[in-house]
């Protein structure tokens, strides 16, 4: 595996891809959003239970590539128990980071999500990683309007 590929498919990504967290429907969801990636037809559904401006639970479902699954799995871990405000900030920080130049600095506070950084060198795959976050931000934006 060459360098660019190793950076894209880091072990963290492959682990989440093989065994994603919180995969499957969330029975008592209060909100959910489904997004489709027109490039590949992939789809991801992000479902959350919001309780007093906090994300009490978050699941994802759908069909996607390793990048999309890993991104969604990481998402469910990093937003659980967080306030909507914090999640919104995190989401925007991450999207900006992933869409930036590969040479740009890593923002603070994104934790494990740094593992997604390889998509910056693969513009055709960027959307795979951002799709779950776009879905989540749609929910958060709606909920805080």
Partner 1 sequence: MIAAPLDFYARRADFPALSHHAAHSGDRRPLIYLDHAATSQKPQVVLDRLMSAYIERCANVHRGVYAQSEAATRDFEGVRRQIAALIDAPDSQSVVFTKGTTESMNLLAYSLGQCVVQPGDEVLVTQLEHHSNFLPWQELARSRGAKLVVAQVDEHGRLSPHAIAQKLSTKTKLLACTHASNVTGELIDVRSICQLAKQHGTITIIDGAQATAHLPVSVRELGCDFYCFSAHKMLGPFGVGILWGRAALLRTLPAWQTGGGMVLSVRETESDHQSIPHRFEAGTPAVAEVIALGAAVEYLQGIGLSVIAAQEEILRTETRARLRQVPGLRLIGPEGPGVPVISFVLDGVHPHDVATALAAEGIAVRAGLHCAEPLFAAMGVRGSVRVSLSFVNTIEEIETLCSALVRIGALFR
Q: Do the strands 42-51 and 31-37 form a parallel or antiparallel pair, or are they unpaired?
A: antiparallel
Q: Which positions from 99 through 118 interact with partner 1, judged by CB under 8 A?
A: none
Pairing between β-strand 54-63 and β-strand 42-51 as defined by DSSP bridges: antiparallel
Q: Which residues in 66-95 contact partner 1 (CB under 8 A)?
A: 66-67
73 touches 136 (CB < 8 A): no
Per CB under 8 A, which region of 10-18, 23-31, 50-58, 73-81 contacts partner 1? 10-18
Q: Torsions phi, psi of 23, nearest 5? A: -95, 130
Binder to partner 1 among 85, 123, 141, 144 (CB under 8 A)?
A: 123
Could you list the residues that contact partner 1 (CB under 8 A)? 1-2, 4-5, 8-9, 14, 17-18, 36, 38-42, 63-67, 122-125, 128
């Amino acid at each position: 595996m060459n360098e660019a590929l190793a950076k894209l498919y880091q072990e963290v990504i492959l682990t989440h891809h093989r065994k994603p967290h919180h995969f499957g429907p969330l029975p008592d969801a209060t909100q959910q959003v489904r997004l489709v990636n027109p490039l590949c037809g992939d789809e991801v559904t992000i479902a959350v239970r919001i309780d007093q401006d906090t994300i009490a639970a978050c699941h994802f479902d759908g069909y996607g590539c390793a990048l999309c699954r890993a991104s969604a799995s990481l998402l469910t871990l990093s937003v659980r128990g967080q306030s909507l405000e914090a999640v919104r900030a995190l989401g925007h920080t991450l999207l900006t980071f992933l869409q930036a130049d590969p040479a740009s600095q890593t923002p603070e506070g994104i934790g494990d999500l740094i593992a997604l950084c390889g998509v910056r060198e693969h513009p055709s795959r960027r959307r795979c990683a951002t799709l779950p976050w776009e879905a989540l931000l749609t929910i958060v934006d709606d909920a805080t309007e």
